[in-house]
Structure 1
Amino acid sequence: MTLRREAFLGHVQERGGYDTPEEAERAARVVLALLGAHLVGDVRAQLAALLPEEFALVLLNPLQSAEPLPPERFVRATSAWIEGATEATAAWDVGAVLSTVADAAGEDLLGQILIQLPTGYDLLFGRSRPN
């Protein structure tokens, strides 16, 4: 079921401790644009179908990434795209957005997403994968 925009941003805002929906939206746009560069095919399309339309479009028209970024570089890239962000605040932004995405995706789709990503992304999504 597709999340409504207000519900999606509400979850991100709550998890990120943002003062305004605009702060949550800024974080969501950057993180989803970077995530979209790492996902391909049906997995990206299935995830996009669960997101509010404007965020689905961000995921489907990603920032270009020459190679999949390891988790720490993903956070660093996020901090570079959010004005005034530090790596610590970017890690918070990534966690707020990706944990919301993980809940929307459900365990099966999340498992398929994690297969496409370098090791360690499970923690960014607020999950820990058994070794």
Structure 2
Amino acid sequence: MTLRHEAFLDHVKERGDYDTPQEAERAARVVLALLGAHLVGQVRAQLAARMPEDFALILLNPLQSAEPLSPERFVRATAAWIEGATEQTATWDVSAVLSTVADTAGDDLLGQILLQLPVGYDLLFGHPQPT
């Protein structure tokens, strides 16, 4: 089931406590572009299929990443792409977007996503995994 653009952004806006939909959209675009660089093959395609179309396109045409970023570096990269962001606000941005992505993906697909990411992303998605 594909989530509508407005519904996806409403979730991000609520979780990120943003004042405007534009702030939520900016965070979503940056975080999804970075996430897309970390996912490959069927997993990325399946996630994109569940996303609103414009966000799916961002996932499928991501920013290039030379290497998988650790969760800390992922947050730092997000901060670098969002004007005026700090590591603290970027952590908030990443969590708001990725927790919404986790809900959109569902548990099975989220498990596959986490297998493609460095250790520690489960916390960014708001779904701590048992160790």
TM-score class, shorter-chain normalisation, is over 0.9
| Over 6 Å off, 4+ runs | none
Give RMSD over aligned pairs.
0.3
Shift of 1:37: 0.2
| TM-score normalised per structure 1 | 1.00
What per-residue deviation string (whole Å, max 9, x for no partner) do you get for residues 32-87 of structure 1? 00000000000000000000000000000000000000000000000000000000
| TM-score normalised per structure 2 | 1.00
Q: Does 1:21 align with 2:21?
A: yes
Q: Secondary structure at the match of 1:42?
A: helix
Percent identity between matched residues is: 82
Aligned residues: 131
| Structure 2 residues not aligned, in runs of 5+ | none
Shift of 1:117: 0.1
Q: Could you tell me which residue of structure 1 aligns to residue 59 of structure 2?
A: 59
Q: Could you tell me which residue of structure 1 aligns to residue 43 of structure 2?
A: 43
What per-residue deviation string (whole Å, max 9, x for no partner) do you get for residues 5-41 of structure 1? 0100000000000001000000000000000000000
- Counterpart-to-counterpart distance in 1, 2:15 and 2:82: 17
Shift of 1:127: 0.8
Q: Could you tell me which residue of structure 2 aligns to residue 119 of structure 1?
A: 119
Which amino acid is 2:5 matched to?
A: R
Q: Could you tell me which residue of structure 2 aligns to residue 96 of structure 1?
A: 96
